[in-house]
Chains A and B, each alone.
Chain A
């Protein structure tokens, strides 16, 4: 099975030098998208802003797919001191 590499950005950037095997491109893409939601679940609530992104590369290093997920939250009322 082909190996794909997933570089993650969540405030800091993590270069993936291990990778994971998937049956095809579309299975790898599905995993990339699902990983974003899993990362968001871990990180959400810690800050009012959240941005996580994944860049998927192939075995030769070619960039194949990119996805990101963002949360922006703000109060609409003045908070008591």
Chain B
């Protein structure tokens, strides 16, 4: 991906998306918001299946997903891939590989996407300028780790249908936060093969698991639209419950920071 010029409206949209992510933990001051707005380069549109960033290359930037769905996946020589994270609008992508010489995962567009590149130097400068941003990023990284812990324990100790049910509930919860999920309906613009690569099973088995959830009366499926008919029963079946973010974070983040100067948002 290339791009340099920044447009104020686009960067405003980027900051809104990022703010949404970080506001879970922290309320930024106007000057911090301005700094975060300046993070991303001009967003670029890419078609479905486009490689946003290759695996095993030197990491030079992270990416903000502005629109569409993307996957972080580990690709094997056989051509098989395991999707380790489904990225939704507002997600920062490729951050974990910033600690490596070569990237651990490939970033691919699961749907047509709009993404903005953030050079690591610019990202790092914000850490130095804003300890509160650094704290929010630290918490965000820990939340990603929790998501991996949940995924790993499900792989080890739950059935395929339970994993699919948990994935649907997880996607619905995440989409609800960025207002892309309407009521209990879930638009999943990804293929059965994508579901298979996320869950580590064949598309045949994914198909069968969907039928099982439908037969249980937990979901209804119309093409790529999934309606969760009984969220409590589905959550009980999946042994899934939403993770609530810590409400008391004053050990890490000062509740208020005096704003001596700086532009107003």
Contacts and interface: CB of A to CB of B under 8 A. Distances in A.
Contacts of A31: 202-204
Chain B, interface residues (CB within 8 Å), range: 10 to 19
Secondary structure call for the B interface: helix
A8 interface: yes
B159 A42 contact: yes
A53 interface: no
B159 A20 contact: no
A53 B211 CA distance: 17
Given A38-B160, A42-B160, A6 B204 contact: yes
Nearest to B192: A20
A39 to B, nearest CB: 7
A18 B191 CA distance: 13
Contacts of A18: 207
Interface string B23-56: 0000000000000000000000000000000000
A35 B204 contact: yes
Contacts of A63: none
Interface string A13-40: 0101011100000000001101100110
Nearest to A34: B202
Interface string B172-208: 0000000000000000000011000000011111011
A6 B201 CA distance: 15
A41 B160 CA distance: 9
A16 to B, nearest CB: 7
B86 interface: no
Given A20-B193, A35-B201, 6 more contacts: A6-B204, A20-B192, A20-B204, A32-B204, A34-B202, A38-B160
